[in-house]
């Protein structure tokens, strides 16, 4: 099997048909399968994909969970069922817009064995406002894991990568999100190619889009997965980027509050642990920050002390 299309879905009855149709319409010269992990939706998503399975029995493989297992576990099980030489990602609320997308990406990876991932520009559609915009302005055509570690720029529905059949490290199973860590693991194995053509649509909607979550909830999740990445087995040069990102998120959270009196010294003491990474960021922010609530700062420091045992000493 040349390619597996990975798709996970939950309560996507409004979108799942268009997502599957956009895969079926692909004009390719190779065999592929569509592997769908359906996480016990409460709407008609399962009914819809069963109808597609009946129509395309040799093309579609279904994983129908008897109970809701969550997005991360669904991702892991669906990836394990993908047997292709390459894996293309498309979640059930996004869709591909270019019928030659897969052929373009597979042709590139076949002729460039030193590349592990290829991705492309996407059209971002806000379902509520119907606003449309293009992603990835001025993105480098060729990048690597050191670029990616500074922040995820690979939209899930744009990504095709080599299926290396590696075992996921233990830390991966603890992550609250799966796409960025997956891209990082793949980027260990080769370079990243970017196509400037917009060949898919990424939807923003209340049913599950990351951008629709409250800012504080997003920040908490970002801190959760960055802590896991900082404690992972990536090289130290890569971990420095994770630490910088962790620090910026904390600063963003601190800036949202407006009462502060005596906590500066404790934060400045903390940065002594990683002076080259934290010092300039924290000092700049502390010198310009609005007063911050003491109770919030204490919560931040408690999190830091639990995460970095050296700070307790």
pLDDT tens-place string over residues 174-230: 999 999 999 999 999 999 999 999 999 999 987 665 565 677 678 778 878 888 898
Q: What 3-state class would DSSP assign to 287?
A: helix
Kindly report the length of the chain.
313
> In this predicted model, which residue has the larger pLDDT, 154 or 309?
154
Two tokens at 89? 């990602």
Say how many C-beta atoms besides its own lie within 10 A of residue 76's C-beta.
Answer: 18
Whether the CB-CB separation of 117 and 182 falls below 8 Å is answered with: no
H-run or E-run covering 195:
strand 191-204
- CA atoms of 101 and 198, how far apart (whole Å): 9
pLDDT tens-place string over residues 125-182: 998 899 999 998 788 999 999 999 999 999 999 999 999 988 999 999 999 999 999 9
Whether the CB-CB separation of 10 and 71 falls below 8 Å is answered with: yes
Longest dimension (CA), the chain: 67
Domains along the sequence of the chain with CATH: 3-212 (3.90.550.10), 215-312 (no CATH)
pTM metric for this prediction: 0.83
Say how many C-beta atoms besides its own lie within 10 A of residue 13's C-beta.
Answer: 18
pLDDT tens-place string over residues 30-82: 999 999 999 999 999 999 999 999 999 999 999 999 999 999 999 999 999 99
């Amino acid at each position: 099997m040349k390619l597996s299309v990975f798709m996970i879905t939950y309560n996507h009855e409004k979108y799942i048909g268009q997502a599957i149709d956009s895969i079926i319409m692909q004009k390719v010269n190779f065999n592929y399968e569509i592997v769908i992990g359906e996480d016990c939706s409460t709407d008609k998503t399962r009914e819809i994909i069963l109808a597609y399975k009946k129509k395309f029995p040799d093309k579609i493989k279904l994983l129908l969970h008897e109970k809701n297992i969550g997005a991360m576990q669904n991702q892991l099980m669906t990836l394990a069922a993908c047997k292709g030489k390459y894996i293309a990602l498309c979640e059930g609320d996004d869709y591909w817009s270019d019928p030659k997308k897969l052929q373009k990406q597979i042709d590139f990876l076949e002729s460039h064995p030193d590349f592990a991932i290829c991705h492309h520009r996407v059209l971002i559609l806000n379902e509520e406002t119907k606003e449309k915009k293009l992603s990835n302005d001025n993105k480098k055509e060729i990048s690597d894991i050191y670029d990616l570690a500074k922040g995820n720029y690979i939209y899930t529905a744009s990504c095709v990568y080599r299926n290396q059949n590696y075992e996921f490290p233990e830390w991966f199973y603890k992550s609250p999100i799966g796409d960025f860590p997956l891209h990082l693991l793949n980027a260990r194995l080769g370079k990243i190619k970017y196509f400037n053509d917009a060949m898919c649509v990424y939807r923003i909607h209340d049913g599950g889009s990351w951008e629709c979550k409250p800012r504080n909830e997003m920040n908490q999740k970002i801190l959760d997965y960055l802590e896991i990445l900082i404690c992972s087995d990536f090289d130290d040069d890569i971990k420095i980027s994770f630490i910088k990102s962790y620090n910026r998120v904390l600063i963003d959270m601190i800036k949202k509050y407006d009462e502060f009196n005596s906590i500066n010294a404790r934060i400045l003491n903390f940065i002594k642990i990683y002076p080259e990474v934290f010092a300039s960021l924290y000092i700049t922010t502390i010198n310009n920050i609005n007063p911050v609530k003491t109770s919030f700062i204490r919560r931040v420091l408690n999190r830091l002390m639990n995460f970095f045992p050296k700070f307790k000493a």
